[in-house]
């Protein structure tokens, strides 16, 4: 796991009087380095297991099993027969899993494992705007926008640490949240916070806001930086806590929430962005992903930042588009995982390099809560900060997918096929082929959007 | 069928027609009808239907009482939109970018007219064709154009009514134009490479000479 971040153009929102004053102070450039919370492989929440009962199980049998299995408290999933079981003190997770798994009514039981964000570990200041978004240049964004800017009827659910999308004071904790300054007219669908169990998925870290901004930060508003599918809507779903860590149960709940949301009988969420991962497997998450795919939603996930030859879960699922990271040179970023499950590449950056010689590190720059203030429990100060990681690459693919859905692509299989067929092959991969280092290559949404003629192939 | 081969065959046929046993009949025909594309899945995806109106004209020369050669041209054009199809069984995504296709076969046929000189004259024939294909589309201000020319074969059968100057008729034909499409686009996805298809036309002819 890796976070490399750059604090740039520190946006000092004037707290109480912000509404009537210019939102920005003169640029303050500072470098901040911090280490991300590490989650070791196979880590799980102590005292918690996920138990899924068979559909035919009688309620009284379920209750009996939960009690005899050592449940101190249970939380029933919105999806139905799935339970998060909080165990009696003294009952180990391993013993509980074994006990539940042996019960005939139980479909499966597993530890409530942990996923974590897939971003870099440091950030460097930046006080410049669109011209420093080499990542968008790499994707031929201007041509892409000439074809499609996105539609608000298409939403990307960002399952992450939350999004700074509203001005809100939490009545329980007193924490004050503010809407990030460069959202403009970006549409937000009602989301949910599965970490704190409320309907206000604000960002008490920074990762989720950065990811969401890559998708749909306000663009062409003479402020800040651009988002790649800025005409599309965002659904903020908080599944990671302030340390960037979340549980399998919360992740599955978030997926089910996103795909269950309807507006006028229509499901606007067409893409789920998972800039997170783990080296462990979860049946709970896998089944939630399967439900999402069955509902016509494209699930995009980060390949992971260990530099290993295997892709993180859930990106490793065949139903999920696994995204690796490129640097400005279109070379695989050193941290980006590889392997047979890798599908596509997108700009994820490398904050240690400045290959475009613009005087700024080649991070991905977006708006987000200023980490210096977040560390003090202040969520109302923002910066245009640079991060690198497969977390940053993933929302580029999610945004590209949202643009294709906006153009009229009918289903996730079509979107995925179009992105893969039109990708720029890298690392010596043959036309139409792939390799384990770059998958199918760098997405070229401007080539995917035109689709096919009767005899005219993909635009190259 | 290469253009050179087509021209060679045409020359032989015209040469044969040039030495009739008896004085021949020349007819000038106008044709209008319906063309149904053999690449039906591709056509359905792009146009929403498999065919459309075709029209054209031909000159027929009958010789040795019953044989004839004819040469002519038809054109078929249809407007649709660019689409995306992932696999032959997947849903067609309509993308809204306008697309037009024009197919123009230039054909040379040879055939036999039964009951020549009667009121109802059935006839059959075979022939070759050179098929011009042009596909154009536009995506957000950027134009795409593709043209090609491929040879093909056809078989036809028809019925002509009338004995005087003015004749009416109907003709059905099936043309195969292999390897004309299918290198890209939805035709590649569906594995369809035949640009030919079934055509039925009504004819109005002015006939001169003969007997």
B→A contacts (Cβ < 8 Å), by residue, are 39, 42-43, 45-46, 80, 82-87, 90-97, 99, 101, 133, 135, 137, 139-141, 144, 146, 148, 181-189
pLDDT at B18: 47
- Residue in A247, A280, A306, A391 annotated catalytic: A391
pLDDT tens column, A149-185: 999 999 999 999 999 999 999 999 999 999 999 999 9
Asked about A207 being catalytic, the answer comes back as: yes
pLDDT at A44: 83
pLDDT tens column, A345-357: 999 999 999 999 9
- Residue in A207, A370, A396, A406 annotated catalytic: A207
pLDDT at A102: 93
Q: Is A40 on the interface with B (CB under 8 A)?
A: no
| Chain B residue closest in CA terms to A296 | B91
pLDDT at A359: 85
| Chain B residue closest in CA terms to A446 | B139
| Chain A residue closest in CA terms to B101 | A454
- Residue in A65, A127, A160, A193 annotated catalytic: A160
* Cβ-Cβ contacts under 8 Å, B139 against chain A: 147, 449-450, 459
Q: Is A431 on the interface with B (CB under 8 A)?
A: no
Q: Decide if B184 and A455 are in contact by the 8 Å CB cutoff.
A: yes
pLDDT tens column, A118-152: 653 322 222 257 888 999 999 999 899 999 999 99
* Cβ-Cβ contacts under 8 Å, A413 against chain B: 86-87, 90
- Mutation target for A interface from B95, B134, B180: give the one with most A CBs within 10 A: B95
Q: Decide if A418 and B86 are in contact by the 8 Å CB cutoff.
A: yes
pTM comes to 0.84
Q: Are A249 and A78 in contact (CB under 8 A)?
A: no
Asked about A160 being catalytic, the answer comes back as: yes
pLDDT tens column, A215-268: 999 998 888 999 999 999 999 999 999 999 999 999 999 999 999 999 999 999
- Mutation target for A interface from B38, B42, B49, B82: give the one with most A CBs within 10 A: B82
Q: Decide if B95 and A450 are in contact by the 8 Å CB cutoff.
A: yes
ipTM reported for the complex, 2 dp: 0.85
Q: Are B154 and B201 in contact (CB under 8 A)?
A: no
Who among A147, A450, A454 is closest to B186 (CB)? A454
| Chain A residue closest in CA terms to B44 | A454
Asked about A391 being catalytic, the answer comes back as: yes
pLDDT at A223: 85
pLDDT tens column, B101-152: 999 999 999 999 998 778 999 999 999 999 999 999 999 888 889 999 999 9
Q: Decide if B139 and A407 are in contact by the 8 Å CB cutoff.
A: no
């Amino acid at each position: 796991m890796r976070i490399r971040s750059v604090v740039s153009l520190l946006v000092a929102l004037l707290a109480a009087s912000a509404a009537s004053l210019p939102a920005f102070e003169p640029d303050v450039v500072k470098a901040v380095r911090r280490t991300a919370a590490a989650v070791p492989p196979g880590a799980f929440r102590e005292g918690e297991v996920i138990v899924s009962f068979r559909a035919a199980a009688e309620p009284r049998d379920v209750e009996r099993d939960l009690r005899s299995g050592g449940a101190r408290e249970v939380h029933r999933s919105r999806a139905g027969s799935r339970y998060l079981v909080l165990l009696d003190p003294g009952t180990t997770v391993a013993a509980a899993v074994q006990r539940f798994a042996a019960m005939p009514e139980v479909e499966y039981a597993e530890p409530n494992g942990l996923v974590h964000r897939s971003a870099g570990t440091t950030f460097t200041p930046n006080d410049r705007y669109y011209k420093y978004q080499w990542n968008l240049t790499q994707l031929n964004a201007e041509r892409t926008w000439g074809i499609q800017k996105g539609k608000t009827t298409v939403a990307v659910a960002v399952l992450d640490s939350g999004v700074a999308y509203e001005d809100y004071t939490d009545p329980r904790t007193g924490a004050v949240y503010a809407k990030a300054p460069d959202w403009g007219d970006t549409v937000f669908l009602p989301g949910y916070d599965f970490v704190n169990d409320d309907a206000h998925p604000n960002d008490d870290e920074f990762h989720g806001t950065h990811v969401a901004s890559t998708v749909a930060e306000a663009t062409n508003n003479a402020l800040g930086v651009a988002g790649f599918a800025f005409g599309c809507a965002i659904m903020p779903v908080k599944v990671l806590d302030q340390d960037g860590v979340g549980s399998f149960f919360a992740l599955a709940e978030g997926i089910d929430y996103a795909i269950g949301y309807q507006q006028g009988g229509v499901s606007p969420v067409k893409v789920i962005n998972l800039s997170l991962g783990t080296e462990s497997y979860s049946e709970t998450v896998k089944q939630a992903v399967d439900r999402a795919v069955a509902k016509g939603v494209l699930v995009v996930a980060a390949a992971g930042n260990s530099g290993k030859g295997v892709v993180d879960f859930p990106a490793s699922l065949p139903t999920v588009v696994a995204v690796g990271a490129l640097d400005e040179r279109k070379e695989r970023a050193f941290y980006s995982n590889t392997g047979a499950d890798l599908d596509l590449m997108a700009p994820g950056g490398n904050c240690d390099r400045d290959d475009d010689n613009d005087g700024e590190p080649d991070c991905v720059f977006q708006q987000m809560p200023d980490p210096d203030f977040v560390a003090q429990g202040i969520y109302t100060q923002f910066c245009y900060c640079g991060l690198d990681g497969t977390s940053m690459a993933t929302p580029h693919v999610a945004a590209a997918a949202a643009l294709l859905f906006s153009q009229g692509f009918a289903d996730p299989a079509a979107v995925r096929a179009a992105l893969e067929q039109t990708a720029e092959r890298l690392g010596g991969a043959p036309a139409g082929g792939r390799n384990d280092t770059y998958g199918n290559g760098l997405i070229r949404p401007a080539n995917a959007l035109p689709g096919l003629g009767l005899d005219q192939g993909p635009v190259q | 069928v290469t253009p050179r081969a087509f021209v060679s065959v045409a020359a032989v046929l015209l040469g044969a027609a040039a030495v009739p046993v008896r004085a021949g009949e020349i007819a000038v025909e106008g044709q209008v009808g319906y063309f149904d594309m053999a690449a039906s899945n591709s056509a359905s995806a792009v146009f929403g239907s498999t065919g459309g109106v075709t029209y054209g004209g031909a000159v027929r020369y009958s010789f040795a009482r019953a044989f004839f050669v004819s040469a002519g041209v038809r054109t078929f054009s249809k407007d649709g939109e660019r689409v995306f199809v992932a696999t032959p069984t997947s849903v067609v995504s309509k993308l809204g970018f306008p697309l037009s296709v024009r197919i123009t076969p230039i054909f040379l046929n040879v055939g036999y007219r039964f009951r020549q000189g009667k009121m109802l004259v059935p006839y059959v024939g075979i022939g070759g064709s050179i098929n011009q294909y042009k596909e154009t589309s536009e995506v957000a201000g950027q134009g795409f154009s593709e043209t090609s020319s491929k040879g093909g074969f056809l078989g036809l059968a028809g019925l002509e009514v009338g004995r005087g100057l003015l004749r009416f008729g109907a003709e059905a034909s099936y043309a195969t134009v292999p390897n004309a499409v299918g290198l890209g686009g939805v035709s590649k996805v569906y594995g369809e490479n035949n640009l030919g298809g079934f055509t039925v036309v009504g004819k109005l002819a002015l006939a001169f000479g003969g007997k």
